[in-house]
Amino acid sequence: DSGVTQTPKHLITATGQRVTLRCSPRSGDLSVYWYQQSLDQGLQFLIHYYNGEERAKGNILERFSAQQFPDLHSELNLSSLELGDSALYFCASSALTSGGQETQYFGPGTRLLVL
Amino acid sequence: AQSVTQPDIHITVSEGASLESRCNYSYGATPYLFWYVQSPGQGLQLLLKYFSGDTLVQGIKGFEAEFKRSQSSFNLRKPSVHWSDAAEYFCAVGSNTGKLIFGQGTTLQVKP
Share of chain A above pLDDT 70, in %: 97
CA distance to partner chain A, nearest, from residue B6 (Å): 12
Per-chain mean pLDDT for chain A: 94
CB B63 within 8 A of CB B48: yes
Of residues A1 and B74, more confidence is placed in B74
> What pLDDT, on the 0 to 100 scale, is given for residue B75?
98
> What pLDDT, on the 0 to 100 scale, is given for residue A100?
65
φ, ψ of residue A36 to 5 degrees: the values are -115, 135
CB contact under 8 A, A55 and B98: yes
Of residues B76 and B28, more confidence is placed in B76
Q: How many residues does chain A have?
A: 115
SS3 B39: coil
Residue B41 has pLDDT above 90, yes or no: no
pLDDT bin (cut points 50, 70, 90) of residue B82 is very high
Q: Which residue of B has its CA nearest to A33?
A: B99
Chain A residues in contact with B100 by the CB 8 A cut-off are 33, 35, 43, 45, 92, 104
Q: What is the pLDDT of residues A32-67, one digit of tens each?
A: 999 999 988 999 999 999 999 999 999 899 999 999
